[in-house]
Structure 1
Amino acid sequence: MRILVGCKRVIDYAVKIRVRPDKKGVVTEGVKHSMNPFDEIAVEEAVRLKEKKIAKEIIVASIGAAQSQETIRTALAMGGDRGVHVEVSAAEAETLQPIHVSKILAELAKKEKVDLVFLGKQAIDDDSNQTAQMTAALLDWPQAMFASKVEQKDDKLEVVREIDGGLETIRVNMPCVISADLRLNEPRYATLPNIMKAKKKKMDKLKPSDLGVDVTPRIEVISVEDPPVREAGATVADVDELVSKLKEKGF
């Protein structure tokens, strides 16, 4: 089995987000970035499948500006075999949308002849939760979203997925697309020796045009705003006063 894992470079989860003065996005310059946490979980699960001798090769792909290579190297240090960097300009990276990423990943999956595409269920910067589903649709492959457990059963993969009502167990044929949920695993830390080894691992560089993908934005960001400040609460002496105040406010 060959696995393609998508990794996105995002603003670190611990950073307080600030809206840019032009209100067209958020401040990214001088801000700490890291691998999207859900993608990190996907990388870890791919590495575990390789450790179980289920997978033979793990290809790590990231789409973005030159700094995305750092994210790929992190994934390679965790256990990935080689990387693919699909480079776009900083301006294009800001307007890159899930449909563009899905088309690129689908073309990479066909080019690399992989058996499994493993992605995080969503990115913490835009929270779209669309890329894995659209990649599966473009490839016409089975999909198993929000996976909290993955096991091989004969020539299929058995996936326990998180749904609104609890857990659902499904079996999917390969090739397929899986998205990782939070409880799938606990990602490992990359050790110093593996970080040094990752610097020597192969990384191919491509452009979206090399894969026949047009990254012209489909939507335009009109304005990005901070959420409204929550109003201070008020205390009431008893239920009668509460009902009276609710009536005053028209509830």
Structure 2
Amino acid sequence: MKVLVPVKRVIDYNVKVRVKADGSGVDLANVKMSMNPFDEIAVEEAIRLKEKGAAEEIVVVSIGVKQAQETLRTALAMGADRAILIVAADDVHSDIEPLAVAKLLKAVVDEEKPGLVICGKQAIDNDMNATGQMLSALLGWSQAAFASELNLEGDHAVVTREVDGGLQTIKVKMPAVVTVDLRLNEPRYASLPNIMKAKKKPLDEKTAADYGVDVAPRLTIVKTTEPAGRKAGVKVGSVDELIQKLKDEAGVL
């Protein structure tokens, strides 16, 4: 079985994000970029399936700017077999919207014929949490979102997913789209020998036009602002005083 894993290039989660002076967006100049953490977990899970003998080939795909090659090479160094880069933007500040991403991924799926798509539940830059669900709808495949455990049983995937009330285990027929949560696994570090080997692994470069998909944005960013600073807290001397403040000052009771 072939496993397809979409990965996204985002601002590294250790970097403090700065808003541009004109409020037009986030400043990405000279900012460290890395693979979306949820996508990294998806790559790790695909590798573990291959190590168990449940998968034969892992194909990673990224959609965005040419610099996303670095992200794909990281996935190849972790253990993926092949990579596909779809160049859909020239400016690093351009973010491809979820529906356009899902349409491009559907075209890749139609071409590659994987038995399973594993992707992060969301990207940490826009927090859309929509691409996996949209891809499932476009393909007409089963879907399992927010997976914290994944097991394959024949032509079915058994997924334990995190929901508001706790954990829910479902069984879906494959082919399927599974979006993964943080507690699924801990991604491995790429070793130096594997990083060197990744440079020789195949990486195909294509464009959105090759798949006939329009990636023009439907949304316009009107303004971007820093979050308001948090006010200093106060200490209360008793439960009664706390209740009074919640009533009179916070207005939550």
Using structure 2 for the length normalisation, give the TM-score: 0.94
- For the pair 1:181 / 2:172, whether they are aligned, the reply is no
Asked whether the 8 Å contact 2:159–2:170 carries over to 1, the reply is: yes
Can you list the C-alpha shifts for 1:214-233, whole angstroms capped at 9, x where unaligned? 00101100011111111223
1:97 Cα deviation after fit = 0.9
Moved more, 211-220 or 148-157: 148-157
Aligned to 1:77, the other structure's residue is in SS state helix
RMSD: 1.7
Q: 1:50 to 1:221 in 2, by over 3 A?
A: same
Alignment partner, residue 12 of structure 2 = 12
Alignment partner, residue 233 of structure 2 = 233
Alignment partner, residue 117 of structure 2 = 117
Q: Within 5 A, what are the aligned runs for 1:45-194? A: 45-91=45-91, 94-194=94-194
Q: 1:47 to 1:246 in 2, by over 3 A?
A: closer
Asked whether the 8 Å contact 1:92–1:215 carries over to 2, the reply is: no
1:154 Cα deviation after fit = 2.2
Q: 1:88 to 1:236 in 2, by over 3 A?
A: same
1:185 Cα deviation after fit = 0.6
Can you list the C-alpha shifts for 1:174-216, whole angstroms capped at 9, x where unaligned? 1110011111111000011111110000111111111111001
1:234 Cα deviation after fit = 3.1
1:243 Cα deviation after fit = 6.0
Q: 1:133 to 1:246 in 2, by over 3 A?
A: closer
Percent sequence identity over matched residues?
A: 55
Asked whether the 8 Å contact 2:65–2:88 carries over to 1, the reply is: yes
Can you list the C-alpha shifts for 1:136-181, whole angstroms capped at 9, x where unaligned? 0011100011111111112211111111111111111111100111
Can you list the C-alpha shifts for 1:60-96, whole angstroms capped at 9, x where unaligned? 0001111100000000011100000001233386141
Write the letter of the residue equivalent to 1:204. D
Q: What stretches of structure 2 of length at least 5 have no aligned partner?
A: none
Q: 1:168 to 1:130 in 2, by over 3 A?
A: same
Q: What stretches of structure 1 of length at least 5 have no aligned partner?
A: none
Write the letter of the residue equivalent to 1:19. V
Moved more, 64-73 or 150-159: 150-159
Q: Partners in 2 of 1:79 and 1:202 — Cα distance?
A: 13
Moved more, 99-108 or 38-47: 99-108
Asked whether the 8 Å contact 2:99–2:131 carries over to 1, the reply is: yes
Write the letter of the residue equivalent to 2:195. I
Q: Partners in 2 of 1:2 and 1:241 — Cα distance?
A: 62
What is the aligned residue count?
A: 251
